[in-house]
Amino acid sequence: MSPLLAQSRPFPDWEWIQRNGDIVLEQGVQHVQLTVAAVAIGFLIAFPLALLASRRRRLAGPVLQVTGVLFTIPSLALFVGLVPLTGLSTTTALIPLTLYTLLILVRNTIAGLDSVPSEVVEAARAMGFREAALLRSVELPLALPVIIAGVRIATVTTIGLVTVTALIGQGGWGQIILSGFQRQNLTPTLVGFLLSVVLAVTLDLLLVALERRLSPWSRKAAR
């Protein structure tokens, strides 16, 4: 039997689950923290960029190109490449995780702002909205469903990517997946994998609920 598939422990390994409950929880907290921090920081960077790109159309191309190039860097290379600079720290995990959210968040925020009907913006201006009020009370509420759709994709993608950061000593449930692999025990690997999926689905549903709450009008429109 190949060493990769060799099992040192029975499956399912109930004993491992009992012994490591605390660690699973601890790693879960880190998993959530890394995900939320990466998406939140990513959004804080992406939003002004997207706003700028949608206001100054000429900048849209360059902004999307730069974030697009960032997205193509292999994640493993980026994580490992940062280790000499920032060590085996949370920062080393957070920088690439954040960079990877940018393309999705910028693109969807621009698409969201573009989806606001031009006659609505025209009517708002003609009624005497100034730029800031126009953005706050008209454009953002109407762009929100598309922007949140971007946040959902970014969140789910990041949850998957966090597991890779186990290779630089971070990783949340990625640690458990990795240790199961190293110790030839299928149970931790499967637990880490399943919990990641559950987390992704849960956060996604929470974001859907948030969107419905913030855009009651679009739900009625869909009917």
Partner 1 sequence: MISFEHVTKRYPDGTVAVDDLSFEVDEGEILVLVGPSGCGKTTSMRMINRMVEPSSGTIRVDGRDVTTLDPADLRRGIGYVIQQIGLFPHRSVADNIATVPRLLDWDADRIDARVNELVDTVGLTPAMQSRYPHQLSGGQRQRVGVARALAADPPVLLMDEPFGAVDPIVRTRLQAEFLSLQEQVRKTIVFVTHDIDEAIAMGDRIAILAEGGVLQQLDSPTEILARPANAFVEEFLGAERELRRLALIPVSEVAADRGPVVRPGDTPAQAATAARAAGTDWVAIVGQDGTVHGWCDLADVTGPVDPAAARPFAATVRAHDTLRAALDVLVASPNGVAVRVGPSGSYEGLVTRELVTGALS
User: Measured from the CB of residue 51, what is the shortest distance to partner 1 in angstroms?
Assistant: 19
User: Measured from the CB of residue 126, what is the shortest distance to partner 1 in angstroms?
Assistant: 4
By C-beta, is 13 or 139 nearer to partner 1?
139
Report yes or no: 180 and 174 within 8 Å, Cβ to Cβ.
Answer: no
Tell which one of 29, 85, 120, 205 touches partner 1 (CB under 8 A): 120
- Regarding 169 and contact with partner 1 (CB under 8 A), the answer is no
Tell which one of 1, 4, 5, 126 touches partner 1 (CB under 8 A): 126
Among positions 138-167, residues that touch partner 1 (CB under 8 A) are 138, 141-142
Report yes or no: 174 and 79 within 8 Å, Cβ to Cβ.
Answer: no
Angle at 76 between CA 70 and CA 80, to 5 degrees: 100
- Cα 190 to Cα 132: distance, rounded to the nearest angstrom: 49
Among positions 98-117, residues that touch partner 1 (CB under 8 A) are 117
Residue 159: closest CA among 52, 37, 76, 60 = 37
Tell which one of 33, 37, 71, 129 touches partner 1 (CB under 8 A): 129
Secondary-structure breakdown of the chain: helix, strand, coil percentages, each rounded to the nearest 5: 85, 0, 15
- Regarding 212 and contact with partner 1 (CB under 8 A), the answer is no
- Cα 121 to Cα 153: distance, rounded to the nearest angstrom: 28
By C-beta, is 22 or 119 nearer to partner 1?
119
Q: Look up residue 87 and give its two tokens.
A: 């060590």
**What is the contact surface with partner 1 in residues (CB under 8 A)?**
117, 119-130, 133, 138, 141-142, 215, 217-218, 220-221
